[in-house]
Chain A
Amino acid sequence: MSTARYEPVIGLEVHVQLKTQTKVFCGCANDFGAPENTQTCPVCLGLPGSLPVLNAEALRSAAKVGLALGCRVRSFTKFDRKNYFYPDLPKNFQISQYDLPLAEHGRLAVEGGGVSREVRIKRVHLEEDAGKLLHPEAGGSSLVDFNRSGSPLLEIVSEPDIFSPEEAYVYLTGLKLLLQYVGVSDCDMEKGTLRCDANVSMRPAGTTGLGIKTELKNMNSFKAVRAALEFEITRQTGALEAGERLVQETRLWDEEKQATRSMRSKEEAHDYRYFPEPDLPPFTFSDADLEVLRRELPELPLARVRRFCSTYGLAPKEAAVLIASKDMADFFEEGAHLFQEVKKVAHWLMGPVLAQMNARGVSLDQLGLSPASLVELIRLVEDGVISQLAGKDVLGAMLDSGKGPAQIVKEKDLAQMSAEGALGAIVDEVLEKNEKTAADYRQGKESALMFLVGQVMRSTQGKANPKVAQELLRKRLTS
């Protein structure tokens, strides 16, 4: 039970760049990293006489996200102009949505890190991105690159339903996972395809009102969001306890200093002068439209976790690791259809396969492994053809060469000696050389057996099937 006098109330505003082929209002490529100012046209440059036309795929993606978040997708929605001056905004207005956003009143179940709650989603809307500004160190100029201008952005705003920095972190990871499942964005904060601003205020513990709000910007990772919130909560609490008055302001997170600072520009409340976008007629969604979109949604993360537990008997923690990447969850399910002992598939994925991905720095789909070939490898181990240890090496060799497991086992002559004949001779040899240990075993020392098994493994360079070796030794020793 916290003894803090004040408790934080947090709301998060996330901007997600949709990974459509083209920008939201024009046919320019929507790619990351193109050379400056080569991915533009009269529309996304806002040149005189240009007009916007909405990208059908962007609209569908936005509606799907709304549905995935349990929102009510409006049957009638429109765009509005948000008017303000800034050099990265070519028209000096942004086409966004104001009073009739695409989707509203949803929720995101947030689970993990000791958190299990529902955060209400206030609204989801579609808008265009601005260009990029660079501020070179020297000189009194800034530079503008309009490649990103006009990229489709989804703005997802939560209600102030988050009550700790850790919850904020879990919310963000859960939201990112959901969006990756729906397949609309990479959600990569480093590339800027996911951005997050946070609002935080403090209120006396146990009350229900909202205190003076601070808007936090410039966090480049989920960890930074958490750290910035922690800093702000400490700062605001300290100020309140010292009897200071807080002001509504925007503060920037400084990653180097690990602190927030107030924005230097004068704090005039923006008057965006919103009005309906005259160049875009409104859009409608019928129940039938929404049904089609709903059916296109994949099974969402939390539902999938539950199903993995109930269908495959996995523990919640194991299921959570598997579904943390949609690719891995899909891979697991395919494997589970090919091999009955699904838990083994799970363990191989969570263990050796994941280790290979980390070592090579690649994702699962870049690894070059198919569910069928993994299952083939697992069978070889389970059938005793190779040991578990050898199996891990075979995996590495499969990924290096692209060859199948059986072929590699053959080429490297890794098949375990299981035949009683071949192994039996070696067992006899070992017993001869280790008379004392053999005697220890006959006296009742169990561990002596394992030592002898180890000796068999050594003399066969690991090729012996340890179970078979153990059995043979026991037989000889007790006969």
Chain B
Amino acid sequence: MAILCLFGVLALGLAACGEDEEEGGGSGGGTAEGTELTIYSSLPLQGTSKDQSEAVIDGEMLALKQAGEKVGKYTIKYESLDDSTAQNPGTADEAQTADNARKAVQDPTTIFYLGEFNSGGTKVSLPILNKAGIPQISPSNTAVGLTTDEPGADPGEPDKYYPTGERTYARIVPKDTIQGAALATIMQEDGCKTVAIANDKTTYGAGLARNVETSAKELGLEVTSNDGTDRNAPNYRSLAEGIDADCFIGSGVTGENYIQLFKDVAAAQPDIKLYGPDGVAEAAFTDPKEGGIPADVGARTKVTVATLSPEEFEKQGIEEAAKFFSDYEAEYGIAKPDPYAIYGYETMKLALDTLEAVGDKANDRKAVIDQLINNTKGRKSVLGTYDIDENGDTTLTDYGLYTIDGGELTFDKVIKAKG
């Protein structure tokens, strides 16, 4: 018995000695070694987000392939990591996400980390990567608190994710203050006076719901309720019956049982108008043949996504987009890709273009971060022309409004958000 205690003490003693050993693979910005650089991608590959994640990966790999997997004298290796687990499929599992981030930190050749998909996951990986000085780009995070402390952020955000005080994170989609405003704008345009909100209580859904509530009130709409939903509930009939408004917005992702929610609300409130955010902008939600909302519910639903249609891109003169769509079809044989495919493409392209811009110093993480955050200006891309501001946010603010036609998302118009 005593011996065991002795070893316990010894172990702690070793810990004291061990503290001064070498730190992780380059804290505070180091130089990646050699001429091979690695780009990691961390997405939930299991569960309900699988299809969207795979679209992101397809987009990323297309961009990488077009660059010939090289930037200047460096070859780029791509590794896709899964941040979900079997116990927690469909979203970022915290322990797994931390493991992914640490893996990237430990690899001395890491030059970019493309992730997470879920805002809640980035909360875990960003502090780790920030400490290690690894540049990070997310294809899809929209939570406000990750980059600014505007309404919708929790107290202490965003600084608590940047322990070094420096910004190392950028995202290519607008934050949810914009989506909230876009949704409120479109609801007002459609004649809503009262709005009922439901949210899935995740970082994304609850945060967006708060943004919608703020924006709606600013535009003079009355918010009658903001209910949290539980994924495990078999149906939401009672919630639906308790709604008393002209318009309903379900702020969540498909995987949180939002198909059922929309169906129940549509059934209980025959006259209500339905709205969904980008979390439900996927075929699994819109297509009845894949188990999504039925056609009659789809006819009453409008969805906002920060992507525009190929035709709209053409109208705005963004030829890169047309090229992307034709390249994507040539590579994968899909004419109408999932909206997230284009995000994946742009995420990788931004990374690669940043590396190209620093030239020989592409293995210097600090230089890459500097280029990414401070020098990405007037970038012409498949999403349009934008800057990355000092917070890491994109200056793009266009949101596309989509209706659902024949089970597919059909572009309706661009929303210029008010306020």
| Genuine A/B complex | no
A contact set with B: CB distance below 8 Å: none
